[in-house]
Structure 1
Amino acid sequence: MPDDDSPAEPAGTPTDTDLLIIGAGPTGLYAAYYAGFRGLRVTVVDSLPELGGQITAMYPEKAILDVAGFPNVKGRDLVDGLVAQASTARPDYLLDRTAATLRHHGDAVTIGMDDGSEVTAGAVIITAGIGKFSPRPLPAGDGWLGRGLEFFVPSFQPYAGKDVVIVGGGDSAFDWALHLEPVASSVTLVHRRNAFRAHQRTVEEVRGSSVEIITRAQVTALRGESTLSEVEITVDGEEPETRPAQALVAALGFVADLGPLQEWGIEVQKRHVVVDSSMRTSLERVFAAGDVTEYPGKVRLIAVGFGEAATAVNNAAVAIDPSAHVFPGHSSDQ
């Protein structure tokens, strides 16, 4: 509930909430907290059934190293802290629902959900990561999902004592190789190029571990009875080699998909939502923050998303109540 000095609703425009946040990942959770700091009623919607977005769904056990104040924090612990912080705003959570439609009327925006319900708000902030994920296909991988082939590593324990092959050359592939190395019997990383897209520090750590790195190669066959028991790896210009593998992690990246947001008439560039320095989108009363945004010099880090969330909330507060100030002062001043 808002405090007595919270921004008033525009006259004649009934709303369910002052601010609707689309996306309950780290950026959305921090935006919820900051909206409470601004005295706004806040509602958060997410298509996933749990809070935490990609962290909860994909890498809750992964160590996150680039959040200010935390030299090393597990994904699930970061989410727990953000949820506790957001709870001070007493947000309403609408989980397992997708924001499907948008319409403006008066001084409000109404978002229709895929279950037929609607939420009317004074402003909207999109913090939905990079949208709905579609995993890129793995050669020879059809039919093996759940039988040894996985796209995510939400827990390390199922890989204990196994021969694990990881396919990919990005941050996820190297992070998972580093975390699984002390747990698995063996870890092999296969990439089709010599160059990697992962952070150089992580690459060097993996090179210094027992992980075997095979480049200019692909996994060309998966074999086993009911579950995976071996894979075929083919290096360019060489004969295929078969080796034992009870687990294959396909860290091949994802195709960004904004889903229904693309039908709203919002300006999109490179499958991301274009914003200005105030985190405003091309739609009135609609802001965005986090991985979903695009602007010159954009850096996609969780830490950057937190700052964008505060900027978006402060500017949304003025859109909701024109008499409000963009900068409300520091939290330590309260």
Structure 2
Amino acid sequence: MSTHHETDVAIIGAGPVGLFAIFECGMLRMRTHVIDTLDMVGGQCAALYPEKPIYDVAGHPAIEARDLIDKLAHQAAPFHPVYHLGQQVTGLTQIEDGGFRLETSRGQTIAAKAVILAAGCGAFGPNRPPLDGIEAFEGKSVFYMVQRREAFRGQRIVIAGGGDSAVDWAISLAEVAERVMVVHRRAKFRAAPESAARLDQLAESGKIDLVVPYQLHGLDGANGHLSAVVVADLDGKERRLDADVLLPFFGLSMNLGPIADWGLALDRHTVSIDPSTAETNIPGVFAVGDIVTYKHKLKLITTGFAEAAHAAHAAYPLVHPNEALHFEYSTSKGVPGL
């Protein structure tokens, strides 16, 4: 396989926004190569919560993350994107005669006229609770993501956390689990109001146990298999929860990795852009999705979709410098061939 490639646009990140960027570039007759550290497309949607329902994608009252990724990949497929999966972009340099050279951790090089950074939160991993001996249970009875809800059928599940992931999975797993217990250090949850209200309804009906205000304190079990989760209140009073599974949802630790060294204007762990074009401080490099920041930025998938459209249109003059771009609706022009 060749280690050098040339394309119109290099897209870094194959999550939902990166996949939609393929479509937007394709609609403007721009070829794409896509690089992602995961060995599959879909980003966090595929790796962390493929069965999690998403409620705020236009046209879908509810859609599982995995199904959304499948539809986005299908939408991008007519434009024949080239995927470089299981590798990280380690270097980004400008080429003297215009464009960029990307280098990956597997020795691939890609020359592109424009770059769209759709790397989500950069490299990510779960925030682990500080419990002695938790490593022995990880992957057997302690999990930081739910890939198959059915795998937890009939089990006693402790969910720890107070955000959307904890609440959404408590609601979903209550349909298949023997028992669901939600541990949080306060009675108020930081989740969407409708989800929090649904959680309260299930608690009142006895389908979910709210263990509040408590925090994780310890684990009991042997050979990687839990028998109980020990929690403690703010005064240190302990309580034992008989359990088969612990799901700690304390968010992700983010790391931009090599991206932090490319000379981009950064605001903490995010990249600053012009929201009207999605262009960064480096001309020809655009950024979209959760990795970007600007005033009033909303970290929603649908916002990232709009940013991908802005980036593709702004990149068009770099790929087709002598052609005027006349905006047309997709219903008028259909899907062009590349």
- TM superposition score category, shorter chain reference: over 0.9
Match of 1:330 in 2: 329
Task: Return the alpha-carbon distance in structure 1 between the equivalents of residues 326 and 151 of structure 2.
Answer: 48
Match of 1:33 in 2: 23
* 2:245 is aligned with 1:264: no
Say whether the 8 Å CA contact 1:156–1:180 is kept in structure 2: yes
Given candidates 68, 72, 90, the residue that maps to 2:80 is 90
| Amino acid aligned to 1:214 | V
Task: Return the alpha-carbon distance in structure 2 between the equivalents of residues 263 and 225 of structure 1.
Answer: 44
Identify if the C-alpha distance between structure 1 residues 34 and 313 changes in structure 2 by more than 3 Å, giving closer, same or farther. same
Match of 2:68 in 1: 78
Structure 2 portions without partners, runs of 5+: 334-338
* 2:148 is aligned with 1:148: no
Structure 1 residue 197, shift from structure 2 partner:
1.9
Match of 2:305 in 1: 306
| Amino acid aligned to 1:71 | P
Higher mean displacement: 230-239 or 28-37 = 230-239
Pairs within 5 Å for 1:1-334: 16-105=6-95, 106-140=97-131, 141-209=134-202, 210-226=207-223, 227-237=225-235, 239-277=237-275, 278-325=277-324, 328-334=327-333
CA deviations over 1:81-134 (Å, ceiling 9, x no partner): 111100011111111111110100121101110111110100000011111113
Structure 1 residue 327, shift from structure 2 partner:
5.5
CA deviations over 1:144-166 (Å, ceiling 9, x no partner): 21131110011111211111001
Identify if the C-alpha distance between structure 1 residues 82 and 232 changes in structure 2 by more than 3 Å, giving closer, same or farther. same
Q: Secondary structure at the match of 2:289?
A: coil
| Amino acid aligned to 1:216 | P
Structure 1 portions without partners, runs of 5+: 1-13
Task: Return the alpha-carbon distance in structure 2 between the equivalents of residues 327 and 272 of structure 1.
Answer: 32
Structure 1 residue 238, shift from structure 2 partner:
5.0
Task: Return the alpha-carbon distance in structure 1 between the equivalents of residues 236 and 103 of structure 2.
Answer: 55
Q: Secondary structure at the match of 1:150?
A: coil
Say whether the 8 Å CA contact 1:189–1:211 is kept in structure 2: yes
| Amino acid aligned to 1:202 | S
| Amino acid aligned to 2:266 | V
Q: Taking structure 1 as the reference length, what is the TM-score of the superposition?
A: 0.93
CA deviations over 1:198-245 (Å, ceiling 9, x no partner): 111111111111211222311101011121111101111252011211
CA deviations over 1:179-209 (Å, ceiling 9, x no partner): 1001111111111233322111111111111
Q: Secondary structure at the match of 2:314?
A: helix
RMSD: 1.5
| Amino acid aligned to 1:258 | L
Task: Return the alpha-carbon distance in structure 2 between the equivalents of residues 37 and 186 of structure 1.
Answer: 49
Say whether the 8 Å CA contact 1:59–1:75 is kept in structure 2: yes
Match of 2:336 in 1: none
Structure 1 residue 318, shift from structure 2 partner:
1.7
